[in-house]
Amino acid sequence: MRSGFAALLLVTIALAVFASCADDPPPACKLVNTDCDVIYQPTFTNIYTRTIEPKCGIDNGACHSAEGRRGGLSLETESIAYQALLTGYVEAGDPACSEFAVRIDSPGEDYQMPVGDALTPPERCAILQWIENGAVR
């Protein structure tokens, strides 16, 4: 009986330790490559209509729609998305230390956005270049 309890206790502790790893926040900064091939001109309108709108909250789920607002972030319209991203998620001119860039440029990590299917390298590249170029509208 004792060995069964000890084994159960060890399994419980191991699960708690590993489960806590999934909730680790993304790093504040990471090395990003902006010398890459884009899929479209890196303007915010292109980024919104060709990547954010269909993949981050409107067409493929409700993570960042008006109803979803995961993490408090709504990307329901181009105007709302632009204001929201520049209020805490994007450091204009600095993609390496922009949370938005860190999350979209981390395929396979627990904090990858969008969840599930990562953006393609050319999509990520357009977003990184847009941020590097000052995140203008």
pLDDT tens string 91-125: 999 999 999 999 999 998 998 888 888 999 999 99
* Cα distance between residue 116 and residue 30, in whole Å: 21
pTM: 0.77
Dihedral sign, CA of 42, 47, 49, 50?
A: positive
| Residue 22 is assigned to a structural domain of this protein | no
**Per-residue confidence (pLDDT) for residue 8, from 0 to 100:** 42
Look up residue 78 and give its two tokens.
Answer: 């181009």
- In this structure, how many other beta carbons lie within 10 angstroms of the beta carbon of residue 73? 21
Tell me whether residue 62 is in a domain: yes
101/133 Cα distance (integer angstroms): 13
Q: Where are the alpha helices (DSSP H) in 73-132?
A: 78-85, 99-104, 121-132
pLDDT digits (tens, 9 = 90+) for 77-92: 899 999 999 998 999 9
Please give the tally of structural domains in the chain: 1
The domain in which residue 79 lies consists of: 27-132
Q: What are the tens digits of pLDDT across the range 41-65?
A: 999 999 999 999 888 766 545 566 5
Residue 3 domain-assigned (yes or no): no
